[in-house]
Amino acid sequence: DVSTPQWRPTYHFTPPQNWTNDPNGLIFLNGKYNLYFQNNPFENKWGHMSWGHATSTDLVHWDNLPVAIPEIVTKDTTTYIYSGSAVLDKNNTSGLGKDGKGPLVAIFTADKPKQHNESQYIAYSNDGGLSYTQYAGNPVIDLDKKDFRDPNVFWYEPTKQWIMTVAMVDEHMVRIYGSKNLKQWTRLSDFGPAGYTKSGWECPSMVPLVVNGDKSKVKWVLFVSAFTDRGPGMQYFVGDFDGTNFKSDNSATETLPVDGGDAFYAAIPWRLANHKATLMGWLVPGKPDTYPWRGQMSIPRDLSLRATSEGLRLIQQPAITIKDKLNTLSADGVFAMESTDLRDKEVPLPKAGKTNAYWIDAEFAMADVKVAGFKIAQNKDLPGNDIIIGYDAIKQQLFIDCTNAEKNNKQPANHIQAVHMRPMKLLNGLVKIQLLVDRNSVEVFGNDGEKVITTEIYPDAKSTGVSVFGNYVNVSLKLWRMDK
């Protein structure tokens, strides 16, 4: 295996070594973001599924901690620790706490490959989430099913109980359970099938979010992951939760994608105070091997809802915790370009850095313009390999175009489709683009988080050029190098 430092992200989470997929057990405790993650502690490929663990105060720098929940191996059976969630049981409803203090409780799927069984387990921690003990009464829910997984649990104050959403994978349904003690669960309702149902549903989660910043207006969003014919995908439903049922407002004919690309998957939220939530997803790796790690997380995304002419829509913005610190996170502060006229020009950004790790906030004034945006991963010795990211004012689409990279690169990502688009309108002739490039990923946020597209890229170490282009455009931008 050849080491691939050119693809190691600088401001996205990767385990120091070995495989990761889904984020698990996201919980904010005592000023620290806890990230557990699907992890193979022994190899750089999926297997031996366990919960890896890392914590961070700023969502950029991570302290890597020992495996928190290892696979369970006995003489005649192996139990994988699949995806799930973690809660602080403050009032010790479970009775699993110690010395008058409530435990942390992890709720996850125990997958038994030999028995073709997936059931829900709990495990508890009385050392702040470093290590967990399996509950002696496991499983807490067993329907004798092969595909039944990814419980996500939260406290629901109005009925004073724990609520779980869990995937009935092949039925394309989310089953909702309630519990007073995290041990006995009562089935409350089923949601679905609805929206995208061509493949198995995984990793459901449900959060209340504020609408248009008005704290008195709260609606619920239900997230579901499913692999589509374009690759990994997520959809969301906006609606109401009354403690028993989730009722969706989505139109019966429309599926709402969370992300327009082909990498963002299995995302779950950190639930924060005052109906705030930050979503983190797994970025599904492309074809080339990265080593000595494989798999990474997305940028954490602060969530909210905005009223649009089409209805309430999800807004995702790169976590403010990171955004606020860019000047100090950057290698050389901020580089600003004010109102540059781009009349049919391609303007290189020499400050973009030596490596493909940077963050750009840009605003384009698109008078008479067809297309404007950025060309990245440029290399003057290998012209025509670049990846184009921008806004097409004729098609009214935000896009990432990897056609050249897929055709010419020595290391194409092997996307099912090379072009990713999301419909988006100009706002008074302006378009805002936030472009987060981090070695082997691209995340583009349009119009303050109205649309997001994420994909994986595999440029060689020398293809790091960036330019901004457009015809009859004014652009103002800020750029932060992120390869300090």
Nearest to 124 by CA among 112, 133, 114: 133
454, burial (CB in 10 Å: exposed 0-12, middle 13-18, buried 19+): buried
Nearer to ligand FRU, 203 or 366 (CB): 203
Sheet holding 293-294, edge to edge: 63-69, 50-56, 32-40, 18-29, 293-294
Provide the minimum distance between the beta carbon of 249 and ligand FRU in the complex, in angstroms, as a whole number: 26
Decide if residue 266 touches ligand FRU (CB under 6 A).
Answer: yes
Residue from 1, 22, 99, 127 carrying the catalytic annotation:
22
Measured distance CA(357)–CA(333) in Å, rounded:
14
> Quick one: tokens of 174?
């989310």
Query: Which of the residues 151 through 180 are near ligand FRU (CB under 6 A)?
Result: none
What binding mask, one character per residue, do residues 38-67 give for ligand FRU by CB under 6 A, x or -?
A: x----------x------------------
Q: Which of 13, 33, 62, 82 binds ligand FRU (CB under 6 A)?
A: 82
Query: Which of the residues 189 through 228 are near ligand FRU (CB under 6 A)?
Result: 202-203
Q: Using an 8 Å Cβ cutoff, are 237 and 248 in contact?
A: yes
Decide if residue 150 touches ligand FRU (CB under 6 A).
Answer: yes
Nearer to ligand FRU, 22 or 401 (CB): 22
Decide if residue 36 touches ligand FRU (CB under 6 A).
Answer: no
Decide if residue 20 touches ligand FRU (CB under 6 A).
Answer: no
Q: Which of 8, 149, 375, 415 binds ligand FRU (CB under 6 A)?
A: 149
> Quick one: tokens of 172?
């394309």
> Quick one: tokens of 273?
């105070």
Provide the minimum distance between the beta carbon of 266 and ligand FRU in the complex, in angstroms, as a whole number: 4
Nearer to ligand FRU, 266 or 365 (CB): 266
> Quick one: tokens of 80?
């994988």
Provide the minimum distance between the beta carbon of 118 and ligand FRU in the complex, in angstroms, as a whole number: 8
Provide the minimum distance between the beta carbon of 113 and ligand FRU in the complex, in angstroms, as a whole number: 11
Provide the minimum distance between the beta carbon of 292 and ligand FRU in the complex, in angstroms, as a whole number: 20
State which amino acid sits at residue 365: A
Query: Which of the residues 105 through 124 are near ligand FRU (CB under 6 A)?
Result: 109
Nearest to 58 by CA among 329, 274, 296: 329
- Residue 22 falls in the annotated catalytic set: yes
Which residues lie closer than 8 Å to 468 by C-beta, 6 or more apart?
337, 340, 342, 346, 347, 349, 362, 372, 373, 374, 475, 477
Nearest to 218 by CA among 177, 277, 262, 175: 277
Strand partners, 282: 265, 297
Decide if residue 22 touches ligand FRU (CB under 6 A).
Answer: yes
Question: Site size for ligand FRU, by CB under 6 A?
Answer: 12
Provide the minimum distance between the beta carbon of 46 and ligand FRU in the complex, in angstroms, as a whole number: 7
Nearest to 7 by CA among 484, 464, 483, 441: 441
Give the active site residues.
Answer: 22
List residues binding ligand FRU (CB under 6 A).
21-22, 38, 49, 82-83, 109, 149-150, 202-203, 266
